[in-house]
């Protein structure tokens, strides 16, 4: 049986210091690993944020173009509507003309009797 080492024994102090050093080294290694993982996740998050920002900027530009009516489809539709408006029957004028002709025919029949 061995006797417990005293706290003043240099060999016992060296053994304890070595054990403390290993414990601290293991703790630092774990901390470094966790820190490296956090840095990797941070970098990935930054990349995702940059990608989302880029996509939002693209959508903002596209929305501005749509709001200003500058898409090819909107230009074609505007041209089509303009052509239809120019080519439509002047309905109000036709109604007035028919009314005047009806009045003229009525007056002619009234005077010829």
CA distance 6 to 15: 12
Tokens for 22? 């290993």
What is the predicted pLDDT for the residue at 70? Answer: 86
Q: For position 23, what pLDDT does the model report?
A: 97
In a domain, 22, yes or no: yes
Count of domains forming the chain:
1
Q: Are 12 and 5 in contact (CB under 8 A)?
A: yes
pTM of the model: 0.51
Query: Does any domain span residue 110?
Result: no
pLDDT along the chain (113 residues), means of 10: 66 94 97 97 98 98 91 92 83 88 93 87
Range of the domain at 48: 10-70
Q: What is the pLDDT of residue 7?
A: 66
Residue 57 exposure: Cα atoms within 13 Å on the Cβ side: 6
The H-or-E segment that residue 100 falls in is helix 91-112
Non-local CB neighbours of 11 within 8 Å, separated by 6+ positions = 5
**Domain assignment of residue 84, yes or no:** no
Contacts of 75 (CB under 8 A, 6+ apart): 69
pLDDT of residue 48: 98
Residue 1 confidence (pLDDT) = 42
- Dihedral sign for Cα atoms in the order 24, 26, 32, 34: negative
């Amino acid at each position: 049986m061995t006797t417990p080492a005293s706290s003043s024994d240099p060999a016992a102090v060296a053994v304890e210091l070595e054990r403390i050093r290993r414990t601290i080294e293991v703790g630092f290694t774990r901390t470094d690993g966790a820190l490296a993982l956090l840095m990797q996740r941070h970098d990935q998050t930054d990349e995702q944020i940059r990608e989302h920002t880029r996509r939002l900027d693209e959508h903002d530009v596209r929305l501005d173009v749509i709001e200003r009516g500058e898409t090819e489809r909107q230009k074609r539709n505007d041209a089509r509507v303009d052509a239809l408006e120019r080519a439509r029957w002047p309905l109000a004028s036709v109604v007035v003309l028919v009314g005047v002709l009806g009045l003229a025919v009525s007056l002619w029949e009234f005077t010829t009797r």
